[in-house]
């Protein structure tokens, strides 16, 4: 009986420890795969056109931004083969993709047929010293009332045709916004535009086998953190299988090690009850 109790304890311990480690591995893996903002830049401009005599005018406020995002493990220097494509902007800013957003707010008075055009572009000098301009986005918006806002967005991702044409060059990403409308009283056409550089840098592609090394701080804590991340992320599937198996093994040991009734103890309890009577 003592042996069976020992086996049950071992089985329970194996199942509980495996379950805890399984939860820890899954939780850590999910945490390291969360996308975080690695770099963010924002530019704002505004422009105005109109006629003071007729009270016909158009004002545009534009906020443009570029957001770089990447999973946490990419920031630890860990790169997984066939599952990780990242941008390296000037070899420093790591990201899975760049999210461009141009937010336009339009205010106008005594105008009709108001429209807004937004372009997001990149320009670079190619290997033949020729200027190249690529249009990432070219969209229109027709506000129905003054004071409305609209977001123009474009996501530049590895593997896309645009990515391939820009890779390896020193790109300058910029936007151009044009707002126009027709005067209600004068019939005059009003149009004005503005633009600015959002971000620039050389885009590189990083697709490496699992051989990255810790960068930046070389303290013991950073080395341990990198080692744990490397081990868990590169062996995630195997670890999950092992710990799930551990849970089942523990359950099987407990199930096939039932505790037999302690007849001596049962007899003592019956005898004690008789004495009380």
- pLDDT on residue 270: 57
Q: Higher confidence at residue 119 or residue 258? A: 119
Please name the residues in contact with 250: beta carbons below 8 A apart, sequence gap of 6 or more: 11, 12, 13, 14, 15, 16, 18
Taking 50 as the threshold, does the pLDDT of residue 85 lie above it?
Answer: no
* Averaged pLDDT for residues 178-203: 92
Query: Among 43-52, 116-125, 232-241, which is the least confidently predicted range?
Result: 232-241
* Averaged pLDDT for residues 68-88: 55
3-state helix, strand, coil in the chain (%, to 5): 30, 45, 25
Are residues 67 and 38 in contact, defined by beta-carbon separation less than 8 angstroms? no
Distance CA 80, CA 94 (A): 14
Tokens 């939780």 sit on residue: 27
- pLDDT on residue 201: 78
What confidence category does residue 272 fall into, taking pLDDT thresholds of 50, 70 and 90?
low
Distance CA 62, CA 152 (A): 11
Give the DSSP H or E segment for 100.
Answer: strand 97-109
Tokens of 232: 């868990």
- pLDDT on residue 218: 36
Handedness of CA 157, 159, 161, 166 (dihedral sign): positive
- pLDDT on residue 210: 32
- pLDDT on residue 131: 95
Domain ranges of the chain: 2-17+238-276, 35-217
Give the pLDDT confidence of 10-44 residue by residue, as tens digits: 777 877 887 887 777 777 777 666 777 777 889 99
Q: What SS3 state is found at 119?
A: strand
Q: How many residues does the chain have?
A: 277
- pLDDT on residue 83: 42
Beta strands 35-51 and 56-71, pairing class = antiparallel
Query: Among 126-135, 173-182, 263-272, which is the least confidently predicted range?
Result: 263-272
Distance CA 191, CA 49 (A): 7
Segment of 12-26, 89-103, 116-130, 218-232 carrying the highest mean pLDDT: 116-130
Segment of 112-116, 233-237, 260-264 carrying the highest mean pLDDT: 112-116
Query: Among 106-115, 161-170, 263-272, which is the least confidently predicted range?
Result: 263-272
Tokens of 21: 């480690």
Nearest to 123 by CA among 195, 60, 39: 195
Are residues 154 and 137 in contact, defined by beta-carbon separation less than 8 angstroms? yes
Q: Higher confidence at residue 9 or residue 261? A: 9
> What are the helix (H) ranges across the chain?
2-32, 72-75, 161-166, 220-234, 236-255, 263-276
Mean of the per-residue pLDDT values for the chain?
77
Please give the share of the chain, as a percent, with pLDDT higher than 70: 66
Distance CA 227, CA 73 (A): 11
What confidence category does residue 79 fall into, taking pLDDT thresholds of 50, 70 and 90?
very low
Are residues 46 and 27 in contact, defined by beta-carbon separation less than 8 angstroms? no
- Angstrom CA distances, 21 to 143, 212, 239, 259, stand at 55, 25, 9, 28
- pLDDT on residue 238: 74
Q: Which CATH class is domain 35-217?
A: mainly beta
What's phi and psi for 169, nearest 5 deg? Answer: -110, 155
What confidence category does residue 217 fall into, taking pLDDT thresholds of 50, 70 and 90?
very low
């Amino acid at each position: 009986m003592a042996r069976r109790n020992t086996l049950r304890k071992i089985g329970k311990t194996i199942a509980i420890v495996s379950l805890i480690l399984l939860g820890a591995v899954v939780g850590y893996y999910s945490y390291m795969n969360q996308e975080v903002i690695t770099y963010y830049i924002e530019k704002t401009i505004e422009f105005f056109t109109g006629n003071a005599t007729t009270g016909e005018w158009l004002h545009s406020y534009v906020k443009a931004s570029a957001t770089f995002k990447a999973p946490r493990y990419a920031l630890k220097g860990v790169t997984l083969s066939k599952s990780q494509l990242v941008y390296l902007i000037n070899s420093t800013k790591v990201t899975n993709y760049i999210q461009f957003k141009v937010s336009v707010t339009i205010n106008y008075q005594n105008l009709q047929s108001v429209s807004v055009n937004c372009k997001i572009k990149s320009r670079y000098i190619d290997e033949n010293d020729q200027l190249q301009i690529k249009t990432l986005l070219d969209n229109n918006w027709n506000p129905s009332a003054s004071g409305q806002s609209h977001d123009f967005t474009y996501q530049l991702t590895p593997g896309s045709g645009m990515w391939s044409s820009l890779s390896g060059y020193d790109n300058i990403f910029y936007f151009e916004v044009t707002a126009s409308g027709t005067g209600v009283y004068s019939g005059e056409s009003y149009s004005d535009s503005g633009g600015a550089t959002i971000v620039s840098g050389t885009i590189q592609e990083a697709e490496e086998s699992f051989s990255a090394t810790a960068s930046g701080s070389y303290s013991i804590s950073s080395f341990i953190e990198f080692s744990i991340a490397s081990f868990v992320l590169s062996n995630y599937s195997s670890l999950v299988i092992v710990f799930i198996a551990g849970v089942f093994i523990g359950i099987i040991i407990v199930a096939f090690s039932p505790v037999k009734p302690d007849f001596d103890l049962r007899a003592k309890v019956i005898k004690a009850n008789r004495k009380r009577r």
